[in-house]
Chain A
Amino acid sequence: QKEVEQDPGPLSVPEGAIVSLNCTYSNSAFQYFMWYRQYSRKGPELLMYTYSSGNKEDGRFTAQVDKSSKYISLFIRDSQPSDSATYLCAMSEVDRGYSTLTFGKGTMLLVSP
């Protein structure tokens, strides 16, 4: 079983829809959870960051972590064509004073006008 599972999509929605993107993971040591957004032929950019379980909201975006189920979600409200990108979940544990990120494969989102 891979450490982080993420449906690659593509996920196609009309403008204004609510989008739900999800990842599951197997490593219970992960404590930090992030969502990166990657536009075509660009490097990833950090979108949201959460620690431990719970919700975090930033404008139209809400990140949700359920550590008991090893499941994280990103919700996008009132989706816009400019949200069309690949969304990568990433997770981290602190090990020996430093850490690296384990990424999901990414979900491609297409928002049509």
Chain B
Amino acid sequence: NAGVTQTPKFRILKIGQSMTLQCTQDMNHNYMYWYRQDPGMGLKLIYYSVGAGITDKGEVPNGYNVSRSTTEDFPLRLELAAPSQTSVYFCASSYRPLADTEAFFGQGTRLTVV
């Protein structure tokens, strides 16, 4: 059982470039999330989705976009990359809302913008 799979694991982008971080889960979870983790700053929610076709902004959505066309996939798009987007990005999924259930995290994507 693969769980939550993120690709790529590492990426270096130049300022102004765009890229898509891929996330897929095989647990048939309706709820999916994108977090970023900066050193010493904890995890911040970028976007989340409560089901296919439904997405909503989290705490730090500026500079990002998402889509959710299937239950399995929740890609995160970076347009016009900026150094402030250098971070580790984690995708997560859950069976129910996160109040009383476990979030399953991917291994993360380490992104550097230079």
The reply to whether A105 and B42 contact each other, CB–CB distance below 8 Å, is yes
Q: Which residues from 51 to 77 on chain A have a C-beta closer than 8 Å to any C-beta of chain B?
A: 51
Chain B, Cβ-Cβ closest to A45: B105
Is the C-beta of A1 less than 8 angstroms from some C-beta in chain B? no
A2 to B: closest C-beta gap in Å: 9
Residues 23-59 of A, flagged 1 when their CB comes within 8 A of B and 0 if not, give 0000000011000000001111110010100000000
Known: A43-B107, A100-B33. A106 touches B99 (CB 8 A): no
Known: A8-B40, A105-B40, A105-B41. A31 touches B90 (CB 8 A): no
Residues 2-21 of A, flagged 1 when their CB comes within 8 A of B and 0 if not, give 00101010000000000000
A46 to B: closest C-beta gap in Å: 4
Q: Which residues from 40 to 57 on chain B have a C-beta closer than 8 Å to any C-beta of chain A?
A: 40-45, 48, 50
A65 to B88, CA, bound (A): 30
A45 to B90, CA, bound (A): 12
The reply to whether B102 and A32 contact each other, CB–CB distance below 8 Å, is no
A106 to B8, CA, bound (A): 25
Sort chain A's interface into a size bin: 20 to 34
Contact among A32, A43, A51, A93 for B106, CB-based, below 8 A:
A43
Contact among A51, A88, A98 for B43, CB-based, below 8 A:
A88
Contact among B31, B48, B99, B106 for A94, CB-based, below 8 A:
B99
B66 to A: closest C-beta gap in Å: 14
The reply to whether A44 and B99 contact each other, CB–CB distance below 8 Å, is no
Residues 20-53 of B, flagged 1 when their CB comes within 8 A of A and 0 if not, give 0000000000010100000011111100101000
A49 to B99, CA, bound (A): 10
Contact among B43, B58, B97 for A44, CB-based, below 8 A:
B43
The reply to whether B48 and A103 contact each other, CB–CB distance below 8 Å, is no
Q: Which residues from 54 to 73 on chain B have a C-beta closer than 8 Å to any C-beta of chain A?
A: 58
Contact among A45, A51, A97, A100 for B100, CB-based, below 8 A:
A51
B53 to A: closest C-beta gap in Å: 15
The reply to whether B41 and A46 contact each other, CB–CB distance below 8 Å, is no
The reply to whether B40 and A43 contact each other, CB–CB distance below 8 Å, is no
* Shortest 6 CB-CB contacts between residues of A and residues of B: A43-B105, A105-B42, A99-B99, A46-B102, A103-B43, A98-B97
